[in-house]
Chains A and B, each alone.
Chain A
Amino acid sequence: MARYIFSRVGQALLVLWAAFTISFVLLQAMPGDAVLIKFQNPEYGLSAEQIADIRAAYDADGSVVLQYVHTIGNFLTGDFGYSLQAGVAVSAQLAANLPSTIRLAGLAFAAAALLAVIIAVLSNISGFGRLRSFIQSLPSLFVSIPTFWLGIMLIQIFSFRLRLVPVINPGEWEGLILPVLTIALPISAPMAQILLRNIDEVLTRPFVSVARAKGASHTFVLWRHVAKNAFLPVLTVAGVLFGELLAGAVITETVFGLNGIGSLAEQAVNFQDVAVLQAIVVISAAAFVTINLAVDLLYPVLDPRLKAKLGGVA
Chain B
Amino acid sequence: MGISGKFKAATVIGAVLMSLASSAAFAEDAAKPVQGGTLIYLEQQPHTNLYPPAGGFYPNGGVLNQITDKLTFQNPKTLEIEPWIAESWTVNDNATEYTFTLRKGVTFSDGSPLDANAVAKNFDTFGLGNKELKQPVSEVINNYDRSEVIDPLTVKFYFKKPSPGFLQGTSVIGSGLVSLATLALPFEQLGDATKIVGSGPFVVESETLGKELSLKVREDYVWGPVKIEHQGRAYLDGIKYVITGEDSVRIGALLSGQADFIRQVQAYDEAQVEGQGYKIYAAPTRGVNNSVVFRPDNPLVADVRVRQALLHGTNAQEIIATLFSANYPQAKSIVASTAQGYVDLSAKLTFDPAKAAKLLDDAGWTPGTNGIREKDGLPLVLTAYESPPQPQNKATLQLVSQQWAKLGVTLNVLAGDAGSRTVDDLDPAKTPVSPAMVGRADPDVIKSQYYPKNRDVLRQKGGPSDKVKSFVDDKLNGLLEALSSEPNREKRLQIAGEVQSYVLDQAYAIPIFEEPQAYAGAPYLQGVDFEAVGRPRFYSTWLAEH
Interface residues of A (CB under 8 A from B): 30-33, 36-37, 39-48, 50-51, 53-54, 57-58, 82-83, 85-89, 92-93, 96-97, 152, 155-156, 159-163, 166-169, 254-259, 263-264, 267, 269-272
- Which residue on A lies nearest to B243, using beta carbons? A257
Contact of B189 among A88, A96, A155 (CB under 8 A): A88
Q: Is the CB of A93 within 8 A of B209?
A: yes
Known: A54-B136, A169-B40. A40 touches B249 (CB 8 A): no
The digit string for B39-73, where 1 denotes a CB below 8 A from any CB of A, is 01010011011110110110000000000000000
Q: Is the CB of A96 within 8 A of B252?
A: no
At the interface, yes or no: B191 with Cβ under 8 Å from chain A? yes
Bound complex: CA A47 to CA B137 (Å): 9
Q: Is the CB of B136 within 8 A of A166?
A: no
At the interface, yes or no: B230 with Cβ under 8 Å from chain A? no
Contact of B209 among A30, A33, A92 (CB under 8 A): A92
Q: Is the CB of B463 within 8 A of A163?
A: no
Within 8 A of A (CB), among B174-203: 187-192
**Shortest CB distance A186–B (Å):** 19
Task: Return chain B residues, CB-CB under 8 Å to A87.
Answer: 48-51, 187-192
Contact of A40 among B189, B242, B422, B438 (CB under 8 A): B422
Task: Return chain A residues, CB-CB under 8 Å to B453.
Answer: 47-48
Q: Is the CB of B249 within 8 A of A257?
A: yes
Q: Is the CB of B40 within 8 A of A168?
A: yes
At the interface, yes or no: B255 with Cβ under 8 Å from chain A? yes
At the interface, yes or no: B369 with Cβ under 8 Å from chain A? no
Within 8 A of A (CB), among B1-20: 11-12
Q: Is the CB of A168 within 8 A of B210?
A: no
Interface residue SS majority, chain B: loop
**20 A-B residue pairs with CB within 8 Å:** A41-B57, A42-B438, A43-B54, A44-B53, A48-B463, A50-B137, A58-B134, A83-B191, A86-B49, A87-B49, A97-B209, A97-B210, A155-B249, A159-B256, A167-B252, A168-B244, A256-B249, A257-B243, A257-B244, A272-B417
Bound complex: CA A257 to CA B248 (Å): 12
At the interface, yes or no: B448 with Cβ under 8 Å from chain A? yes
Q: Is the CB of A48 within 8 A of B48?
A: no
**Shortest CB distance B260–A (Å):** 10
Q: Is the CB of B246 within 8 A of A255?
A: yes
Q: Is the CB of A168 within 8 A of B259?
A: yes
Bound complex: CA A163 to CA B252 (Å): 11
Task: Return chain A residues, CB-CB under 8 Å to B46.
Answer: 86, 267
Bound complex: CA A77 to CA B9 (Å): 56
Bound complex: CA A257 to CA B12 (Å): 24
Known: A83-B191, A88-B191, A259-B210. A272 touches B246 (CB 8 A): no
Task: Return chain A residues, CB-CB under 8 Å to B139.
Answer: 44-46
Bound complex: CA A271 to CA B424 (Å): 15
Q: Is the CB of B131 within 8 A of A53?
A: yes
Q: Is the CB of A57 within 8 A of B209?
A: no
Bound complex: CA A93 to CA B134 (Å): 21
Q: Is the CB of A163 within 8 A of B192?
A: no
Task: Return chain B residues, CB-CB under 8 Å to A36.
Answer: 419, 422-423
- Which residue on B lies nearest to A152, using beta carbons? B248
Contact of B54 among A44, A54, A258, A259 (CB under 8 A): A44
Contact of B242 among A85, A169, A269 (CB under 8 A): A169
Bound complex: CA A58 to CA B53 (Å): 19
Bound complex: CA A293 to CA B212 (Å): 36
- Which residue on B lies nearest to A266, using beta carbons? B245
Bound complex: CA A155 to CA B252 (Å): 9
Bound complex: CA A257 to CA B46 (Å): 11
Contact of B42 among A152, A161, A168, A267 (CB under 8 A): A168
Within 8 A of A (CB), among B230-271: 240, 242-246, 248-249, 252-253, 255-259
Q: Is the CB of B134 within 8 A of A57?
A: yes
- Which residue on A lies nearest to B61, using beta carbons? A43
- Which residue on B lies nearest to A87, using beta carbons? B191
At the interface, yes or no: B420 with Cβ under 8 Å from chain A? yes
Task: Return chain B residues, CB-CB under 8 Å to A50.
Answer: 129, 136-137
Task: Return chain B residues, CB-CB under 8 Å to A160.
Answer: 252-253, 255-256
Task: Return chain A residues, CB-CB under 8 Å to B208.
Answer: 96, 259
Q: Is the CB of A37 within 8 A of B418?
A: yes
At the interface, yes or no: B454 with Cβ under 8 Å from chain A? yes
- Which residue on A lies nearest to B38, using beta carbons? A169
Bound complex: CA A41 to CA B426 (Å): 11
In the complex, given contacts A48-B453, A86-B48, A168-B253, what are 18 additional A-B residue pairs having Cβ atoms less than 8 angstroms apart? A45-B56, A45-B448, A45-B455, A46-B139, A48-B466, A50-B137, A85-B48, A86-B46, A86-B191, A87-B50, A87-B189, A97-B210, A159-B252, A166-B258, A167-B253, A259-B209, A259-B210, A259-B212
Bound complex: CA A43 to CA B245 (Å): 20
Bound complex: CA A83 to CA B189 (Å): 10
At the interface, yes or no: B406 with Cβ under 8 Å from chain A? no
Q: Is the CB of B256 within 8 A of A93?
A: no
For A48, A87, A152, A264, the residue with the greatest tally of chain B CB atoms inside 10 Å of its CB is A87
Bound complex: CA A86 to CA B47 (Å): 7
Q: Is the CB of B11 within 8 A of A163?
A: yes
**Shortest CB distance A58–B (Å):** 8
Bound complex: CA A132 to CA B314 (Å): 61
Bound complex: CA A257 to CA B244 (Å): 5
At the interface, yes or no: B211 with Cβ under 8 Å from chain A? yes
